[in-house]
Amino acid sequence: MSSELATATKPRKILILTADAGFGHRSVANAVASALELEYGSAVDVSIVNPLDDEKAPLVLRDSQADYDKWVKNVPELYQLGYNASDAFIPTRILQSYLSVALLEVMRSILRQYKPDAVLSTYPMYQSAIITLFRSRKYRVPFYTVVTDLATVHRLWFHPGVDGLLVPNQLVADLAMSNQVKGEKIRITEIPVSPAIANEKRNKADIRMELGWQADLPTVLAVGSKRVERLVDALNVVNHYGVPLQVVAVTGNDQDLFNELNHFDWHIPAHIYAFVENMAPLLRASDLIICKAGGLIVTESLASGLPLLLIEAIPGQETGNADYVTSRGAGDMAQSPVAILETVHHLFKDYAALLKERARNACSLGMDQAAFDAAHILWKAANERPKPTPRKKILPVLEIPL
């Protein structure tokens, strides 16, 4: 046990705020929580909370989590229009002002209940309300945000009042500084992924044998959900490509997709999972992943040295993720059956020469220690809480004691 732990008289309380608009935000929260517990054991007390589940949160914000799937699936062009329209200076400031008031009572209640020594947010909507509370009186604790996209990042993520901003790369760091976040507050850590990815050291053949797959076959991992409409088309191409392969598909608890894939006329070995608790072995045991361009799955794949075939990208933030991967030679984008067929052919021809090149590039981009980096930052912050700041005059409506 380190000297830091030895001097701790009671567990340091770390509060992680997240949301369930997609899988990524909570997965990042879980990854950081796991890293904290692995590194500091009983010396840390971690709580993960979704403020949008609180009944005091405005209904429009609570519903935004469920509506997220509907918007990106049914009207992606309208979603992109709204995303782009809000990603400007004045609309962002208006949105921040609204969130400061709308979530103030929720945040006050959460902070009063958990009494954290440090706070991390994996969702951009919470910063304004938290910082407003800290400015309304002398009470404050270190407050950090971790950005969960790789390139196209909404301005709402960048609040100059945070104590620290964890970003995936220099590109996002530059965006943050252009939005008035001071450089000394920014830490490049990559997007935190499950510590299980870093801890999975076995070779592909051993993992495949344990999972009941064929050890010597090139393996294509396909990850889907209700938001990935092109997955069936992509798997149909792989199924009929005509070279020795095996498919592993995870349907993200989409029962209809799970049933459809189980009734496929498979011409190659196929292993279908409705849901998995631990993706690390599947990622490490595969040679290619077919998925959408979500920030977390992209980061997990890169951290596993796994090339990507991206078949969908939500207009807005995910198009930046796709550009990041393809421009650096770690993956390809293909959105039609013909394009998918061409890409698969290019990847596997000449003894998979291009696939091996993509894998080398993915390895060079991937960072599997980001969750531990975030854990160390939070632990240090929790043990070096800043002194109270002078009370600032703000609007009377926000003068609510914590």
Given strand 219-223, what is the order of strands in its sheet? 270-273, 246-250, 219-223, 288-292, 308-312, 331-333
- CA 24-282-237 angle, to 5 degrees, is 90
How far is the CA of 280 from the CAs of 112, 153, 270, 302, 361, in angstroms?
A: 36, 26, 19, 12, 19
- Residue 91: per-residue pLDDT: 66
**What residues contact 230, with CB distance under 8 A and at least 6 apart?**
311, 312, 335
Convert the pLDDT of each residue in 203-215 to its tens digit: 999 999 999 999 9
Could you check whether 3-193+369-398 and 196-365 share the same CATH topology? yes
Domain ranges of the chain: 3-193+369-398, 196-365
Find, among 276, 369, 365, 284, the residue nearest to 327 by Cα.
Answer: 365
Q: Which CATH class is domain 3-193+369-398?
A: alpha beta
Fold adopted by 196-365: Rossmann fold (3.40.50)
90: buried, middle or exposed (CB in 10 Å: 19+, 13-18, 0-12)?
exposed
DSSP codes joined into one string, 155-189: GGG--TT-SEEEESSHHHHHHHHHTT--GGGEEE-
Given strand 143-146, what is the order of strands in its sheet? 44-49, 12-17, 118-121, 143-146, 164-167, 186-188
CA distance 25 to 18: 6
- Residue 149: per-residue pLDDT: 87
Phi-psi region of 221 (alpha: psi -120 to 50; beta: other; left: phi over 0): beta
Mean pLDDT by 10 residues, the chain (402 residues): 54 94 85 96 96 84 60 46 51 76 89 94 92 80 93 86 94 92 93 92 95 96 80 92 93 87 94 90 96 90 95 83 94 94 94 96 91 96 68 41 42
- Residue 315: per-residue pLDDT: 76
How far is the CA of 308 from the CAs of 159, 224, 252, 321, in angstroms?
A: 32, 14, 18, 11
